[in-house]
Amino acid sequence: MNRKAILIIDMLNDFVQPKKKDKIIRNIIKNIKKLIYISREKKDLIIYVNDSHIIGEDKELLEWGNHAIKGTKGAKVIKKLKPLKNELIIEKREFSGFSRTNLNDILIRNNINNIIVCGLFADICLKKTCIDALKNNYNIIFLKDCTTNYHDNSVENTIKELKKIGQINDMELNEYVESNKNE
């Protein structure tokens, strides 16, 4: 059986607040909420992969400023996508969800072969997580209408960069839902 895990990356209060991409973010939240609902019904493994930084220890804060500080409201998943008690939360201190976390161990323990990625931001944390997932031989589905880039280049450009590294399947949420109806 090809088990799958849904990785919801950095859908945190600190990242959803910027007004610059308000409409885009609202659509992403709506799509991820639908994905979560469907995934819960199918009993897929849902894992929230969240920045959770420590001031004075994490180099990322030097470049990006203080954000998602461990224990603060900013480092919590937004209310609209709140995890259930049985869903896993991985705290990361680097861009990749695999870096210095137990994500790979959890995926192995649960016999996961396929990961579905969504969240913020495609050109930073999703990209780094996908690169490490490829190194660990996971099949990846990148839901392109469940993310956006931090920088102004398009999500399509990020996907093209990832496809140069390895096999990435990219699709819209509705296409993913349709392709999984019979599972």
Chosen CATH of 3-179 out of 3.30.450.20, 3.40.50.2300, 3.90.660.10, 3.40.50.850: 3.40.50.850
pLDDT of 118 higher than 90: yes
Q: Is 40 exposed, middle or buried (0-12, 13-18, 19+ CB in 10 A)?
A: middle
Which of the 8 DSSP states describes residue 12?
A: B
* Per-residue pLDDT tens digits for 36-71: 999 999 999 999 999 886 888 878 877 777 888 899
Whole-number Å distance between alpha carbons of 113 and 162 = 18
List the one residue out of 166, 94, 175 whose CA is nearest residue 130.
Answer: 166
Beta bridge partners of 48: 8, 89
- How far, rounded to the nearest angstrom, does the alpha carbon of residue 174 sit from its chain's CA centroid? 18
- Categorize the per-residue pLDDT at 173 as very low, low, confident or very high, splitting at 50, 70 and 90: very high
At 163 the three-state DSSP class reads: helix
Q: Which of 87, 97, 134 is nearest to 114 (CA)?
A: 134
Task: Give the pLDDT confidence score for residue 58 in this predicted structure.
Answer: 73
Q: What share of the chain is helix, strand, coil (3-state, %, to 5)?
A: 40, 25, 35
Give the pLDDT confidence score for residue 16 in this predicted structure: 85
